[in-house]
Amino acid sequence: MDACLYGTDGFYSTRGSAGRSRGDFITSPEVGPLFGAVIARALEQWWQEAGCPDPWTIYDVGAGPGTLLRSIGVAVAETRPWELKNVDIASGDHDLAELPSALDNCVVLANELLDNMPFRVVERRDDGLYELFVADGERVWRPSPVRLEQLELPVGGQVPLLEQASAWVANTLDRGASRVVVIDYGATTTAELASRGGWLRTYRQHQRGHDPLAEPGRWDITTDIAVDQLPSGSIVTSQADFLRRWGIESLVAEGKDYWMAHAAAPDLKAFRMRSRIAEAEALLDPAGLGSWLICQWMPG
């Protein structure tokens, strides 16, 4: 998976970090500026609660083309001493390849990053745990050295092991971030992923692929995440609940009012305000983006 996504001929290396958002898959920031505007409201309160630090840095990791911080930048008051920095390992329009080693007075955001981090695949059998490998393009199941003491997995259950994703969160917390906010699709438990299946998917230009081993490097490979495999202590909400908590509905109402007042001779802003209605529908959709999970760690 690492080679297929980030190797020399990998999906993200050859398409650039913007690849997926140019049409392979629509993420919340790519729906429109409303998502960033709501996050900016949350950031404003977190900044004040932190005692208004100056500077205060917001990193978006796995930023792709940097759309999220662009819309946050538009929504936030110009007087705020905030630094907005994009981080992405793939080439593209971003500031950093990696997070710095000290993250005091920093918030780290990651939208649909963890699902794209290489994972292992294991299956519980009567005689122990087996792990999926690929040899000469074929699937091979071998006894796995992994221990699953913490995770409940019934016999026959197959799940992703999110070691890299979990290590990334732990490492980011170790660097002293004030808050880490991860947004992704998945479930709260690994057992739930095992029972519902279908957690490994491939995409290209809105098309679902079938076999993750087909055309290596030409398809995005993703997994649902399981919160119980990430560091403990996070507050977990659905994206819909989070966006409502931070006022998406009042931003939509403001958009409607502006549109009504300008509908006779609409300017560009009027069209942008009207588009909040459709953006909110997509962002809150209980069968889609609204069901994504938001995990927040607030050390200290």
Ligand X SMILES: C[S@@+](CC[C@H](N)C(=O)[O-])C[C@H]1O[C@@H](n2cnc3c(N)ncnc32)[C@H](O)[C@@H]1O
Comparison of 14 and 158: residue with beta carbon closer to ligand X:
14
Comparison of 72 and 270: residue with beta carbon closer to ligand X:
72
Q: How far is the CB of 89 from ligand X (least distance, A)?
A: 4
Comparison of 144 and 296: residue with beta carbon closer to ligand X:
296
- Cα 210 to Cα 50: distance, rounded to the nearest angstrom: 47
Residue length of the chain? 300
What is the DSSP track for 42-109? HHHHHHHHTT--SSEEEEEET-TTTHHHHHHHHHS-TT--EEEEEE-SSSSS-SBSS--S--TTEEEE
Q: How far is the CB of 199 from ligand X (least distance, A)?
A: 16
Written as six digits, the tokens of 14 are 């050859």
Comparison of 71 and 144: residue with beta carbon closer to ligand X:
71
Torsion sign across C-alpha atoms 211, 217, 219, 223: positive
Q: How far is the CB of 10 from ligand X (least distance, A)?
A: 9
Comparison of 180 and 194: residue with beta carbon closer to ligand X:
180
- Tell me which DSSP letter residue 228 carries: G
Q: How far is the CB of 70 from ligand X (least distance, A)?
A: 11
Q: How far is the CB of 245 from ligand X (least distance, A)?
A: 20
Interface residue list for ligand X (CB under 6 A): 12, 17, 20-21, 27, 29-30, 61-64, 87-90, 111-113, 116-117
- Cα 13 to Cα 4: distance, rounded to the nearest angstrom: 9
Comparison of 115 and 123: residue with beta carbon closer to ligand X:
115
- Cα 190 to Cα 266: distance, rounded to the nearest angstrom: 50
- Cα 139 to Cα 162: distance, rounded to the nearest angstrom: 19
Comparison of 46 and 203: residue with beta carbon closer to ligand X:
203
Of 292, 284, 124, 296, residue with least CA distance to 224:
292
**Residue partners of 43: CB distance under 8 A and separation at least 6:** 58, 72, 76, 82, 107
Q: How far is the CB of 6 from ligand X (least distance, A)?
A: 7
Q: How far is the CB of 248 from ligand X (least distance, A)?
A: 17
- Cα 10 to Cα 118: distance, rounded to the nearest angstrom: 13
